[in-house]
Every structure is written in structure tokens, then in C-alpha cells.
Structure 1
Amino acid sequence: MRMVKTALAALVVLGAGYGGLYLTERMLAATGEAMIAPSAPAPMRVDTVPVTMATFNETVRAVGTTRAIRAIELTPKTAGRVARIAFTPGMQVAAGDLLLQLDDRAEQADLKSAEATLAEARTAFERQERLNRAGSASDAAYQTARAALLRAEAAHDLAQVALEDRSVTAPFDGIVGLTDLAEGQLVDTATRVTTLDDLSVIEVAFRVPETILPHLRPGQRVEMTSPAWPGRVFAAHVTGIDTRVDIETRSVALRAQIANDDRALAGGMFMQAELILQERQRPTIPERALSVDGAREMVMLVEDGIARQVEIATGQTRNGMVEVLSGIETAQSGPDAQPAQIIVSNLQRVRAGMAVEATPLAASRVE
């Protein structure tokens, strides 16, 4: 009997030990499964920039040559000896200022003689006029005195003009150029005294292809650059369009004017012209945010913390920014819609539908 009890006790102990071992294994297994259960991935950090608007232009490039808005070569109206040179090269002069004086002693004498003759003729005419009104002189004598007065006035005017022709004056405000004359030198009507240029406005002559003719109109904006002034852009506008197309070059001549208040430009300079045919406002994105898959162009947007891929159509590229023709607008909806946020970092790792943590960047920080 004792042996039976002992056997039963051993069986109970073994059963309890086996049960404890089984329960321990189950608990350890459950704990291990809980420890290795996958957790939700953390959102990927990305940098974003907003879509901005920029102006894009349809342009035509050409080359041109500058000239002053008014430019002439001054020559004497009559031959004579130089008595005085009244200017220095580069001087700013006003209209009417004396530039060159020829010897005019003979012309001054002729003018004095003409003034004396005129005074006599006027006195004689006034006397005949009084006699004619009083009936003491004939009409023939009156008409003779009147004709003599008219001839004296004409002679005086001719003497005055001859005297004025002995000097060269500025016909308009401008800057005088160099001269090779010297006082005492004999000159004639073919002798070049100097040049006079009105540099307040510079005119640029250039040509564009005839295919542009339907798009030309006065007042169009032109951006001018010169090798003499690297990095500077001169604002101009079209002031003249030729009515004919050159049959040899198949091009149209244009004229554009530039305000030249600081006298940076002079006549005869080489200029590069960019004629603005059309201006438009378009959304822009950084070029580095663009990805290409065959013929498709795509960008990644952030909406409510989720990455979204959008196919777009692009236009011009300027200074690292790409013009968006379509696609971005469809990523915005509602009257209070904010500009779309474009992902510009970790693009190789971001996938559509992925949770992201966006850090906005200023557009100026995107290169």
C-alpha cells in the first residue's frame, strides 16, 4: 500500500513539474512574440519649399549699335579765318551757345552800313507818308519811298544773316566732341568743326527675323547689355519699326531708346538686345525637386503629412527654377488653399503614400 501511495505521489509531482514547464514555455513564447512584434515606422524627415509665382518671358535675341538720339557734325556756313574757338572737347553746351567764331569785321561793317541805309529809307518813307496823308505828295513818290524802305530792310536782313553765318552755334543741348582746328586757320563750308551729341537718350538699331513681324508693336520692352558694362541691364523700349523687310537678310529693322541720364553709353557701342515678346506669370519649383521617368516629369508634394507624387508639365528653366505649365494647380483645392509644398530632399527614399515630417525651407536657401 505504501508503494502505491509513493508511486501516486511521484506521478503527481511529475505532472505538476511538466505542467509548470509547459506553462513557462508558453509564457516565454508569448513574451518573445510581444518583444519582436513590429512597430509603426517613424515619419521620414524631408525639406520642403512652397510653390512660388515668377515671371517668364518669350524673347528674341539680336545685336545692335548705339547712337545718340540727336547727333550731327558741325561745319561753318561760310568760308573764313578762325578768330575764336569757344569750346573744349567733352563740354556740355546748351542750344545757342557759341562754339566757333570766324573773322567778321567786314560783315559787321556791312551791317552798320545797312542799318544807316535803313534809317534813311525809313525817315524818307515817314516824310512821304505824312505828305501823302496831307495831299501834298503824289502816290508815285509815296510808292517810291515805300519800295526804298523795303529794299533797305531786305539789305539789312541780309547783312544780319551774313554776320550770323560767321559764327557756329549749338543747335541743341549736347556734348561737343574733338576738333582739329586752331585759331587763325582758314576754313570753308566743308571743314568739320566738331561733333555734337545729345546723349540724354541713346537709340539702339537692331534687326529681328521677319517671322517675328506679327508680334512687333511700339513700346515693347527690350533688355540691353553691353560688354563695356558687365552685369548691367539697360531698360529700353521699341520706338520704331521699319515698314519693309530686308530682301537679303529677311529681317526687320527696329529702333529702341534707352534713358542715359548717367551718360554710361555713347554712340557706336555694341549692344546685345533681348526683345520681350510676351510675359506671363507661372508657378515655379526648384529644378532639383524634379524627377523624370521616361517622358514623364514628376514632383513629390506633402499633403497632411503624407507624400504624394504629381505629374507636371514644365516650360522654361531660369536660375535653377523650373516653370510649371500644368499639374501643380491640381494639387490645390478649396478657396483657402495654401501653396503646395514641394519635397526637395531625400527624394530617392521617399515613396508616394509614405508618412513624412516636413521642414519648410525659405526659397532663397534652395540652390
Structure 2
Amino acid sequence: MSIKILSWSKKRMIVSGIILFLLALGALKLRPHIFGGSNPQSEPTHVETIIVKQQPGTERFESAGTIKAYQDIILSSEVSGTIQNLAVSNAEKVQEGTILLNIRHDDILANLKKDQAVFNQKKLYFERLQHLYEKHVVSHESLSEAQSDFQQAKAMIDADQASLDKYIIKAPFAGQIGIWQIDRGQYVKPGDALVSLTALSPAYVDFMLPAKALGKIKIGDDIQFTTASFEHYTWHGKIIAIDPQLDVATRSMRLRGQIDNPDEKLVPRLYGEVVVLKPSTPQLRLPQEAIVYDPQGAFVYVLQKQTATRRQVKLGLHENDDVIVEGGLKPGDEVVTAGMMKLFPGVPVIVNKKIVQ
């Protein structure tokens, strides 16, 4: 028996034929993935979907903002004297009328006591003459003179009390004092700063917007305030004032909002971001996890007859966990929100969960 030995060229042809066969077989199996045709042997993919519907739209105007106190003053002395005592501690919260400090006022108290005694005497004399005048015992001129003396004595009491009030510093409104800038026993003179007093709730926020927003913004519009100092907080409020003049340097409109600050976290000169929210035309929204990105842009998978169809979409602003869809979808479309990793165009699907907006 003879054995035929294949030449090298024939061996190479056989090997090449086997490789071409395998490549052709692989291409047939991958064809549905490449050209989007259906594969009758593909198993359905389990997904979650959402039915898209129009929702009330919101137009946003964003700007940097600075917190301003509802009321904020520096208390200063109106008189000269020595600090007798500090009645409250640093950064203490006080009510309107609370005594904050006393400046020594012994001489004022002495004058008040002396004038009080004169006042009491003049008052009794005037009341006695009134009684006698009714009995026609004294003249009208005597009664008038006694009344004048009584009124002068009362004016002296009022003047003493007004002087005394300048030595006893009280809180003109409820708020929180700052850090004392003077100490007990220190001598102060008129104009010397004593301590700050700040009312923190509610709070103001001052911000600016471009002049093009002038016709869209009005008093009473809703605003939101956020700051990097408190990353997980959002404060809400309304616009309360719009400056009638544009800023000279920037030609922007100046606005002031009032926001609730019940926990008093917002303090004067705190920097943050203001968003003005305005109702606009209805919008289509999707959760951000429904969007798939590739070099050509953003797209979603839309279900049609229980199969997935890839559709490119035009996106707008991102708001919280949602994104506004400006093009590519219409109300009623059913969009895949979970399970996209196993999807390709034309693959059959089984919907495990469907959400209607």
C-alpha cells in the first residue's frame, strides 16, 4: 500500500477553506446583531419600562446669591461712661426689649429720684387746687399756674427717663447677639461699637439676573437656594423685590428673595446658588438611567410590539434624577429604564415592571 503525502500548497488550501467556513458561520450568527434583524432563537430579555407623558414644564433662571440678614445692626453707645455689667453672653439669643448691658448711671438715677419727688409734690398740689376750683375757692389763674408746674415736673421725669434709657442698652428686636467688643469696666464714648444683633429667620438672598429675564420675572415667583456649606439642603422662598434700575456695570437686574430659615443655618454673607422657577410649556421627562450614550449622542430603547427599538433623542436640562427630552419621543411611548445592557435592536422583551408617569 502506498501513502500519498500532500504537498504544502494543498495543505494550506485545506486550512484556508476551514477558516473561511468558520468565519462565514460566525457572520451568520452575528448578522441579527449587526443589521438589526430579528433572531428567532434569541431569548426574551427582562426589562422595566416607563410610559412617557407630558408633564407641567418649569423654566429655570440660575444665579449666584448672597444671604442677607432679615435685620442686622451694630449697637453702639450714645453716651460716655463705664460699662457696669454685660447682661447676656456672647452669641446668646434674646427677645425684643431684653437688657443687654448697663453703663454706669448713678447720677442719672439721683436726678430721677429728685425730680420724681418734685413731680409727686406738684401732682398733689394740682389735684388739690382742682378740687378747690370746683368749689369756687381758688381762681382759674391759680389752677392754671399749678397745672403748668405739674406739667413741667412731668417733663423733667420724661427727660430723666430718656437719659436713663441711653445708659441701659436693650435689644430693639428679637435675634442673636454677636461677640462682645467691649468688657465690663471699660470706658466707652458715643459712637463706640458694643455688639452686633442679627435676626436670622427669615433670611434675605440678594442676586442678579440678565436683563433678558426682565419680562419673565415678577414679585412672588418661587425660588430655591442651595449652598456648598450644606450640600443636602434646599431652602425655598419667593422674590419680594426687584430693583427698578439695572446695575450700571453689568446691565443686570437686581433682585431680593425671602426664604424660610427656621433652623437658622443661613447666615449673612453666605454664598450659594439661586434658582428661579417659572411655569413653562409641558415637557417630556425621563429618569436619567433610561438614557444610553454613544459617540453619536444619546438614545433610548422604545418598545414596539414587545421588541426593542433604538431611538436617538435630544436632551435638555437635567433636574434632580430626571432629564428633559426635547426631541425624539412623543407622549405614550414606552421606554426601557432597566435591563438595557442586554438589549439590541429587534430583541424580544418581557416587561417585569411598567411605570406610568
Q: TM-score, normalised by structure 1?
A: 0.74
User: 1:189-245: CA deviations, max 9, x gaps?
Assistant: 201110001112221111111111111122322222222223432223222211221
Cα 1:84–1:322 shift into 2, 3 Å? closer
- 1:121-270 equivalences under 5 Å are 121-270=122-271
Cα 1:126–1:203 shift into 2, 3 Å? same
Q: Which structure: larger Rg?
A: 1
- The yes-or-no answer on 1:358 pairing with 2:357 is no
Gaps of 5+ in 2: 1-38
Q: Contact 2:68/2:204 (CA < 8 Å) preserved in 1?
A: yes
Cα deviation for residue 44 of structure 1 reads 5.3
User: 1:66 & 1:319 partners in 2: Cα distance?
Assistant: 24
- More contact order relative to length (CA 8 Å, sep ≥ 6): 2
Q: Contact 2:68/2:268 (CA < 8 Å) preserved in 1?
A: yes
Q: How many residue pairs align between the two structures? A: 313
Q: Contact 1:76/1:167 (CA < 8 Å) preserved in 2?
A: no
User: 1:218 & 1:227 partners in 2: Cα distance?
Assistant: 27
Gaps of 5+ in 1: 1-39, 333-338
- The yes-or-no answer on 1:102 pairing with 2:97 is no
Q: Contact 1:208/1:253 (CA < 8 Å) preserved in 2?
A: yes
Cα deviation for residue 102 of structure 1 reads 1.0
Q: Identity of paired residues, percent?
A: 21
User: 1:101 & 1:228 partners in 2: Cα distance?
Assistant: 38
User: 1:213 & 1:200 partners in 2: Cα distance?
Assistant: 28
Question: SS of the counterpart of 1:196?
Answer: strand
Cα 1:275–1:230 shift into 2, 3 Å? same
Q: TM-score, normalised by structure 2?
A: 0.76
Which among 334, 337, 357 is matched to residue 340 of structure 1? 334
Cα 1:232–1:77 shift into 2, 3 Å? same
Cα 1:156–1:317 shift into 2, 3 Å? closer
What's the RMSD between the two structures over aligned residues?
3.1
Question: SS of the counterpart of 1:235?
Answer: strand
The letter of the residue matching 2:351 is T
User: 1:236-281: CA deviations, max 9, x gaps?
Assistant: 3222211221232111111122222222221121122222233665
Question: SS of the counterpart of 2:263?
Answer: coil
Decide which moves more: 92-101 or 183-192. Answer: 183-192
Cα 1:91–1:206 shift into 2, 3 Å? same
- 1:32-47 equivalences under 5 Å are 41-42=40-41, 45-46=44-45, 47=47
User: 1:272-330: CA deviations, max 9, x gaps?
Assistant: 222223366533345655689989x8754334435567786653345675423466446
User: 1:6-42: CA deviations, max 9, x gaps?
Assistant: xxxxxxxxxxxxxxxxxxxxxxxxxxxxxxxxxx924
Q: Contact 1:43/1:357 (CA < 8 Å) preserved in 2?
A: no
Cα deviation for residue 108 of structure 1 reads 0.9
Cα 1:218–1:78 shift into 2, 3 Å? same
